[in-house]
Amino acid sequence: MATDILDVIRTKRDGGRLSDEQVWFFVHGYADGTVADEQAAALCMAILLRGMEPDELASWTQAMIDSGERIDLSSVPRPTVDKHSTGGVGDKVSLPLVPMVAACGAAVPQLSGRGLGHTGGTLDKLDAIPGWQATLSNDQMVAQLRDVGAVICAASETLCPADRKLYALRDVTATVDAIPLIASSIMCKKIAEGTGALVLDVKIGSGAFLPEIERARQLAETMVSLGRDYGVRTVALITDMEAPLGRACGNGLEVAEAVEVLRGGGPPDLVEVTLTLAREMLALAGIDADPAATLTDGRASAVWDTMIRAQGGDPDAPLAVARVTHQVPAPAAGYLRRLDARAVGEAVWRLGAGRSRKEDPVSPTAGATCLRKPGDAVDAGEPVLVLHVDDTARLDGALAALDGAIEVGPEPPDPRPLIVDRIA
């Protein structure tokens, strides 16, 4: 058993493979505080620069899982399947997707997170619903899965605690985008939650965490391989995030749009991505059902209402709205060629819908509505975006973030496919 953290750091710094003993020594040592933050930061940077072998990454992921509890879903009578997205702007897919898949007969144990920076967090969106609670014990989560078939909640403090501590460190040491560390961080929690199958939504484009398709594909392949190693049936879709998904960006605004989808409406791009992911989830769960039918016959909406009520929320309560709206016009007449997703996400964040630090509060009402999407014809001065804000002092920062984000030209842009690739 390795007993010297410097040996562990040197091994990876010099391009070597960490032994199983070294991995376990580091992960459990960092979790219990015997490995210092600066030593963990050095190892993370070495991993970012040197990478990890597949068997090395499997050992790392296992050590993350074993640092805490695992959830036992054996008492849930339905097949279990979950979904994870690498995040984007306007990506409220989980909100209609979870009840839709549950309405088809699966159980969806969705452990979600909060937003940081320009990408929104699912829990922040749901917090806009009066009374809704993100925190459930493992027993409460399993009971809700048995009763409702759907749950969206925060991961408990006992699930992969080493990963939670390491993620916070990576966030402040410029090592978040190390692909082995991203893959293990996502997959250790999904494996520990006990799901039988998993669909991954890996985003590309300006609003994505990894904008380039090559790195997104590498991440998708790494996560699919990890899932397979642990007996979790896993498929990854690479989807486009060059423009915001749907029209609503911001917590309460996105909840309202998700409810619109559940009632059979909603923007076509959001509906397409949601249905595509739902079909993949149902196929992995072995369920032959049409998820689109649950939107037209009311079953998905009914599951949503039941799920929200089970977590203390009132699905019928009106959502709060911002005090002030501000229109952002088209700079010229023609076709909207680009609506930069990252710029919109940063504007929404500056309006108060996101956070710079994990402890920052977020506004349930701040956000943006996309009145036009790429390919639409626009007149000069016609509003393209509507900004929603309570604190008007935030408007200048949001408008600065949008500088150059709206591009208009004489011809429409070539259409970009929403579903770019499938990796299994």
Q: Which amino acids are annotated catalytic?
A: 82-85, 122, 170, 185, 189-190
Give the Cα separation of 91 and 411 in Å (integer).
28
Query: 406 has which bridge partners?
Result: 339
Give the Cα separation of 48 and 42 in Å (integer).
10
Contact in structure between 188 and 180 (CB atoms under 8 Å): no
Give the Cα separation of 282 and 288 in Å (integer).
7
Query: 84 has which bridge partners?
Result: 200
Q: What is the DSSP letter of 353?
A: I
| Cα dihedral: 61, 62, 63, 64 (round 10) | 50
Give the Cα separation of 143 and 364 in Å (integer).
29
Map 304-343 to HEC letters.
Answer: HHHHHHHCCCCCCCCCCCCCEEEEEECCCCEEEEEECHHH
Give the Cα separation of 382 and 398 in Å (integer).
19
Rounded to a whole number of angstroms, the distance between the first and last alpha carbons of the chain is: 36
Strands (E), 160-229: 197-204
Give the Cα separation of 210 and 194 in Å (integer).
27
> Which residue reads 């990963």 in tokens?
163
Q: Tokens standing for 101?
A: 């898949």
Give the Cα separation of 415 and 374 in Å (integer).
8
CB atoms within 10 A of CB 252: 25
Task: Report the helix count and the strand count for the chain, using DSSP H and E.
Answer: 16, 13
Sign of dihedral through CA atoms 347, 349, 352, 353? positive
Amino acid at 57: L
Q: How many CA atoms lie less than 13 Å away from 35 in the CB half-sphere?
A: 28
Give the Cα separation of 301 and 271 in Å (integer).
14
Nearest alpha carbon to residue 256 among 193, 352, 321, 188: 321
